[in-house]
A = this chain, B = another copy of it.
Amino acid sequence: MGLDVNAVWRYAPVERWTSGAAAVILLTFDVDAETMLLGEGGDRYASDLSGMSHGAFGATVGLERLLRMLERHSTPATFFIPGWTAEHHPRCVERVAAAGHEIALHGYLHKPPSSCDQDEQRAEIERSLEVFERLGVRPVGYRAPVWMTTSYTLEQLGSYGLQYDSSLMDDDKPYLLDTPSGRLAELPPQWYLDDGEQYLYLPYPGFDGVIQRPSSVADTWRDEVDAYRAIHSLLVLTAHPCLSGRPARVRALESVIEYAESLGDVELARCDEVAARLLETPEVELLQSRPGE
């Protein structure tokens, strides 16, 4: 096996976690806000007020606009909020919680675990948990910043009472991981389902993507919905309010939601719901071997 982790992969039958839908879409938002810069180099980029304001848009105007759009469709979503964002934009946490969405962990300063030592890895999680505790929120899921987790961070998650992770990319169906600190559901993301690859451009600190036309992004995402339906997979769509909260992009995302709704057999769910279904699967139904292993 290629992944060096003290964990056992286990698979539940599709019917268990889809509850019968042809495919499940997890609409997830990473509210990085200013940490998109801070996590790349501490104070190095903090003096760039324009770059910081680009991030701040995500925790304020962009977030509000997306929340209103989700409300129009009664669409449930999961918001991965770095501890720093929650601490500096407490209103953002209040608004997301009040709208009935899920709030999950996404590091404190958006530092990827793979660039931290073990103490820092734990600190990024623990500091965030403290912030959310003060705000009355109890996250049950975690996503590694920049999707660069480590076996160490993965194996710690259970000890914080977390029930799922969304950082590994070795499948497009969800699965279970039995780690030394407990069983986790894994809800696998993928770079091509992240709006950052399509929209993120900030020349410093080197986010030099090619900004795509929103209507073309929506076309691509609709194709993905079709492809995931056909094979009953879990489409974890990741958007950033500082990117997808812009006028034409909100429309693009809304058109994908409308398309999914129109199909009649696609479910839009929160991460914690799908994680719970996986974790509730009777032991006897679980398969241990990974596909292809």
**Contact surface of A with B, Cβ cutoff 8 Å:** 1-5, 33-34, 46-57, 59-61, 63-65, 85, 88-89, 91-92, 95, 112, 114, 144, 146-151, 154, 167-173, 188, 190-192, 197-199, 201-204, 208-211, 213-216, 219-220, 223-224, 226-228, 230-231, 233, 246-248, 250-251, 290-293
Asked if residues B151 and A49 are in contact (CB atoms below 8 Å), the reply is: yes
When the two chains form the complex, which single residue of B56, B146, B227 contacts A3, counting CB atoms closer than 8 Å? Answer: B56
When the two chains form the complex, which single residue of B56, B215, B227 contacts A2, counting CB atoms closer than 8 Å? Answer: B56
Complex interface: chain B residues within 8 A of A191 (CB): 54, 201-202, 211
Q: Which residue of the partner chain B has the closest CB to A44?
A: B114
Q: Which residue of the partner chain B has the closest CB to A224?
A: B248
Asked if residues A223 and B248 are in contact (CB atoms below 8 Å), the reply is: yes
Asked if residues B168 and A60 are in contact (CB atoms below 8 Å), the reply is: no
Asked if residues B89 and A190 are in contact (CB atoms below 8 Å), the reply is: no
Of A1, A53, A190, A231, most buried by chain B (CB within 10 Å of CB) is: A53
* A191 CA to B4 CA, complexed, in Å: 32
Complex interface: chain B residues within 8 A of A198 (CB): 211
Asked if residues B292 and A50 are in contact (CB atoms below 8 Å), the reply is: no
Asked if residues B168 and A33 are in contact (CB atoms below 8 Å), the reply is: no
Given A33-B2, A49-B154, A191-B201, CB of A171 within 8 Å of CB of B248: no
Asked if residues A170 and B60 are in contact (CB atoms below 8 Å), the reply is: yes
Asked if residues B246 and A49 are in contact (CB atoms below 8 Å), the reply is: no
Of A5, A55, A168, most buried by chain B (CB within 10 Å of CB) is: A168
Of all A-B residue pairs in the complex, the 6 with the closest CB atoms, nearest first, are: A60-B292, A227-B247, A227-B248, A53-B170, A48-B114, A54-B169
* A261 CA to B114 CA, complexed, in Å: 46
Of A4, A5, A85, most buried by chain B (CB within 10 Å of CB) is: A4
15 contacts between A and B (CB under 8 A): A1-B56, A1-B88, A4-B49, A49-B114, A49-B150, A50-B144, A50-B168, A53-B188, A61-B170, A61-B291, A89-B293, A192-B201, A210-B210, A215-B223, A226-B248
Complex interface: chain B residues within 8 A of A47 (CB): 114, 150-151
Asked if residues B231 and A247 are in contact (CB atoms below 8 Å), the reply is: yes
* A144 CA to B250 CA, complexed, in Å: 28
Asked if residues B49 and A149 are in contact (CB atoms below 8 Å), the reply is: yes
Complex interface: chain B residues within 8 A of A219 (CB): 213
Complex interface: chain B residues within 8 A of A210 (CB): 197, 209-210
Q: Which residue of the partner chain B has the closest CB to A171?
A: B61
